[in-house]
Structure 1
């Protein structure tokens, strides 16, 4: 399928929401058309280039997005909230002006209900909850109770979007070949973040004693 692409310095995962401020004329036209026709566009992480200016070179894997809400501003700019839908792979770029257009194949990650995957999802859930608890302790804050999805794929996408990481690491998660691979990558990332959080918490406790 042919898809209008929006190269950004962020990674969008299926099911996650992305607020955008649209001000460039090319993207105002592109997204205005998506809103009018209720069609999707593609969010892709920039591999080379910038968000503003000449067409950037995107990574091959991205996520289709649909406009959920829009707020029009008096000068023609607008704010919108997009929600990620389906992962895709760019097969080739067919246009770069006025915006990037790609020929893409949809490559949704399938839910896997094997025992190994369910165990992997439970391990990721426990690690994420542990990390949240540590971050609350470090910041001496409070977080209301939250409920994580029971579906392993939804859980994996939520955690991929929620764990603090750079765009490159997030792209690696998006590109995972299977749900099992994604959960394994998230386990490694969460273990690293937990280790870092424990060090920060210990430093905070040591500072209080001195």
Structure 2
């Protein structure tokens, strides 16, 4: 497989287009694979040295994209590669897998494979920082405060003591991935420049949801 010019990551990987399935560097995404073409995709990934899959969101029908920023029609141009870190084959021939996020990438092109899935030609250069832990500081107190209100609204249970002890990047990755945001909102979280920007986006999105549920009253009161 071709390698990228700057490191040991490949420049071509199997691609899994899936709406509302957000993977971030350091995050963990469980998947249930059952379509024949995507079973073949997993086989191809497992046979490669890196065991990588590129997660990309399809663009929704009501969204318009500039063709210069969307080189592959119907797909967002920024995705995230995940390494298969768990694999199980079921008796009914499904694959249960888990991906661990490695790095974001820019989608350059795609190639249809004989078994029906697509390989993605990708560029990693602008996301080199994803390979290192994001040590930027975030203001956790307002994030967790809004998070508690949002989880109560959605009926989510959480281990708050564990959340308080989690690292910033892990907290942001998990929260971004589990919250039931719209496709465009999840894409904005994926494309955020750094941890602080992603935290600000998360707070804004949860406050909007709380504001709407309160009939327009300020979510922070």
- Specify if TM > 0.5: yes
Of 157, 160, 181, 1:165 maps to 181
Q: Is 1:88–1:108's contact at 8 Å kept on the other side of the alignment? A: no
Q: Is 1:2 aligned to 2:20, yes or no?
A: no
Name the structure 1 match of 2:148.
Answer: 133
TM-score by length of structure 2 reads: 0.69
Name the structure 2 match of 1:206.
Answer: none
Query: Which structure: greater helix fraction?
Result: 1
1:142 to 1:41, Cα distance in 2 relative to 1, 3 A: closer
Larger CA deviation: 170-179 vs 140-149 = 140-149
The offset of 1:142, in angstroms, is 6.2
The offset of 1:31, in angstroms, is 0.4
Name the structure 2 match of 1:57.
Answer: 74
What is the 5 A alignment of 1:5-84? 5-9=15-19, 10-37=21-48, 38-47=50-59, 57-84=74-101
Name the structure 2 match of 1:52.
Answer: none
Q: Is 2:14–2:53's contact at 8 Å kept on the other side of the alignment? A: yes
Which structure 2 segments of 5+ residues have no match?
Answer: 1-10, 62-71
Q: Which has the larger radius of gyration?
A: 1
1:159 to 1:142, Cα distance in 2 relative to 1, 3 A: closer
1:64 to 1:164, Cα distance in 2 relative to 1, 3 A: same
Give distance in 2, aligned partners of 1:154 and 1:101: 29
Q: Look up the SS of the partner of 2:197 in the other structure.
A: helix
Q: Is 1:13–1:157's contact at 8 Å kept on the other side of the alignment? A: yes
Give distance in 2, aligned partners of 1:169 and 1:158: 15
Q: CA RMSD in A?
A: 3.2
Residues 91-138 of structure 1 show CA distances to partners (whole Å, capped at 9, x for unaligned) of 12233652121211122445665xxx52xx11xx22332134335655
Of 92, 105, 114, 1:88 maps to 105
Q: Look up the SS of the partner of 2:175 in the other structure.
A: helix
Give distance in 1, aligned partners of 2:165 and 2:107: 29
Name the structure 1 match of 2:121.
Answer: 103
TM-score by length of structure 1 reads: 0.72
Q: Look up the SS of the partner of 1:20 in the other structure.
A: strand
Q: State the number of aligned residues.
A: 188
Give distance in 1, aligned partners of 2:107 and 2:154: 41
Give distance in 2, aligned partners of 1:36 and 1:60: 26
The offset of 1:89, in angstroms, is 0.7
